Structure 1
């Protein structure tokens, strides 16, 4: 973390009041983050989905404070208040929004099991998609990448993708050769 408490620390009474309003306790690892950083900016901002097929960048994590309204957890925790998703409130009830991504994706915390997800909108034919990111807030924090790590992993990922494509082409060529339908070229 590079910017602890940009809008002040949270107090235990604020956290207790927030949990009471939610009707559920927050996972311990997320509570620890609120007490230790309360919406502070992260040094490591990039992460992938569980399948490592999509990457995201954190724009902000919310905190319990009286700073700017758009950075307050207590003001922004209901995912159905975003993107006209009110009709999906029942489906989104188990989640709270704890931050947002640079592309408008919402960072969600599942209140039942503590897992972290991303809510992505503008999916073809769907109003939104919820993508699993990590099994816990600690696992999420541990998976975050610095700009340099992200660049390296992205390069490696693209290389792996290209190698997979080349292997598929080679396998197709070998299959065609074995069927007598073409030359095998090295």
Structure 2
């Protein structure tokens, strides 16, 4: 399990990016610091978009270059997006799905977006981002962990309540997801 991010870790990262992180996201860093279960998937129905299971959520001070938020936050460092650096300046990449697509947090409006490298730009040359949640908390609420890890950190009660609510709301959806996965794998 990753160590919790400290206030110092978060302040150092905010200074690096020149922005303040949303409160719900800093709570996540302080409690889980990027750590999620191995079998976590997103229960999101977004038309014409297939989001894979959560691959990696980056943490701070995790001592693994590939999982380190301070190494991976620059959206334009992925694929061939350097020419979109100005367009993507208000976003941080906080993780990937198991297809290698990106989860982005807009630091202005705090919405969570999804970027799939198969549909990277539209016909006008603008980067295609799909809004998948109104906040990082809403993104977490859609994450169903089939193999949960224990909650730790200063906001343990908050996260336990969130986890309990997710389990209650998503028990039925979890079974539907397993069935969809089985159907998809049998179609291949």
* Fold conserved between structures, TM > 0.5: yes
1:53, distance to aligned residue in structure 2 (A): 5.0
Aligned counterpart, 1:11? 6
Check conservation: 1:47, 1:55, Cα contact below 8 A.
no
Q: Which has the larger radius of gyration?
A: 1
Contact 1:47 1:57 in 2 (8 A): no
Is 2:61 the counterpart of 1:47? no
Distance in structure 2 (CA, Å) of the matches to 1:97 and 1:52: 22
- Give secondary structure in 2 for the equivalent of 1:92: coil
Counterpart of 1:22 (choices 13, 17, 20) is: 17
Match of 1:31 in 2: 26
The 5 Å alignment of 1:128-143 reads: 129-143=128-142
Compute the displacement of 1:58 (Å). 0.6
- Does residue 73 of the first structure (1) align with residue 69 of the second (2)? yes
1:64 equivalenced with 2:56 (yes/no): no
Note closer, same or farther for the CA distance 1:150–1:131 as it changes in structure 2 (3 Å cut). farther
CA RMSD after TM alignment: 2.5
2-structure distance, mates of 1:110, 1:94: 6
How many residues align? The count is 151
Task: Report the 3-state secondary structure (helix = DSSP H, G, I; strand = E; otherwise coil) of the residue aligned with 2:21.
Answer: coil
Task: Please list the CA deviations of residues 16-65 of structure 1 after superposition, one character each: whole Å capped at 9, or x if unmatched.
Answer: 01111111110000000000000112363223254485333110100001
Stretches of structure 2 lacking an aligned partner (at least 5 in a row): 147-170, 181-188
Larger strand share, 1 or 2: 1
Q: What is aligned with 1:111? A: 107
| Structure 1: gaps spanning 5 or more residues | 1-5, 157-186
Other structure's SS at 2:33 match = coil
Q: In the TM superposition, what is the alpha-carbon distance from 1:77 to its structure 2 partner?
A: 0.2
Tell me, in whole angstroms, the C-alpha distance in 2 between the residues paired with 1:135 and 1:16: 24
Post-superposition offset of 1:101: 0.5
The 10-residue stretch of structure 1 (122-131 or 36-45) with the greater mean CA deviation from structure 2:
122-131
